[in-house]
Chains A and B, each alone.
Chain A
Amino acid sequence: MSFAWAKQYQPQSAFTKWLDEKLPFPRLVYNAVGAGYPVPRNLNYMWNFGVLAGFCLMLQIVTGVVLAMHYAANQAVAFGTVEHIMRNVNYGWMLRYAHANGASFFFIVIYLHIFRGFFYSSYKAPREMIWLLGVVIFLLMMATAFMGYVLPWGQMSFWGAQVITGLFTAIPLVGEPLQVWLLGGFAPDNAALNRFFSLHFLLPFVIAGVVILHIWALHIPGSSNPTGVEVKQESDTVPFHPYYTAKDGFGLGVFMILFTAMVFFLPNALGHPDNYIEANPLSTPALIVPEWYFYPFYAILRAFTGDLTIPFTGIVLIPAKLLGVIAMFGSILVWFILPWLDKSPVRSGHYRPLFRKFFWFGLIPTMAALFYLGGAHAEEPYIMLSQIFTAYYFMHFLVILPIISQIEVPKPLPFSITEAVLGKDKAAEAPRAGTVDGTDAGTATDGSLQPAE
Chain B
Amino acid sequence: MAELVTFLILGLVTMVSAIMVITRRNAVHSAIWLVITLLAVGGIFLLQHAEFLFAVQIILYVGGITVLFLFVVMLVDIDVQLKQARFARQWLLALVTVALVVAQLIYAIYNHGLGLNLPSRPMVPAPPQNTQAVGMALYQNYMLPVEIASILLLVAMVGAVIMAKRKLE
Q: Do A and B bind each other?
A: no
